[in-house]
Amino acid sequence: MATNRTFTMIKPDAVRNGHIGAILEQINAAGFRIVAMKYTRLSQEKAGAFYAVHRGRPFYDELVDFMSSGPIVAAILEKENAVADFRTLIGATNPEEAAEGTIRAKYATSIGENAVHGSDSDENADIEGSFHFAGTEIFA
Ligand code: IDP
């Protein structure tokens, strides 16, 4: 995957709370183009594998339970400087620290149930995009 892409998930809390449309609208308005998207649900096993880097942390089990608790929207987004610009758009992990107007400030309920995921590096964007999408599901 090129470095102008990032990977996102609209997490189960935001889906449950009816925020899919508003979040996608904010993503589009910020200049991101959706090149892959699916509505799906992660098994415990798949959520655990996705967040394997956090295995051993006190919140890991809670995170895996939460991320497999309901459907998500997974997407690959394209824009110049995608990874950094998307992290700015979503705001800090903890919604109490997220800048006003960011997706997490608007839609997250807690540090765990924080509405959206955004890759933290080009390398992880590539790994995470490939985790969820086959090459034939990506439309450049
Ligand atoms: P990020 O999603 O902003 O990159 P990370 O530190 O990579 O944040 O954590 C991954 C996810 O794990 C967070 O988005 C959040 O859902 C969850 N998480 C992080 N820290 C905590 C915590 O202290 N308590 C509960 N859940 C947490």
Q: In this structure, what CATH number is given to the domain that contains residue 96?
A: 3.30.70.141
- How far apart CA 9 and CA 118 sit, in angstroms, is 7
Give the rounded percent of residues in the chain with a pLDDT score beyond 70: 98
In the chain, how many domains are there? 1
> What is the ipTM for the molecules in this complex?
0.98
pLDDT under 50: residue ranges of the chain: 1-2
If one residue of 7, 66, 111 were mutated to test the ligand 1 pocket, choosing by the most ligand atoms within 8 A of its CB, it would be 111
- Check if 138 has its Cβ closer than 6 Å to any atom of ligand 1: no
55 annotated as belonging to a binding site for a ligand = no
CA dist list (Å): 131 to 25, 30, 42, 101: 25, 25, 11, 30
Which range of residues forms the domain containing residue 92? 5-137
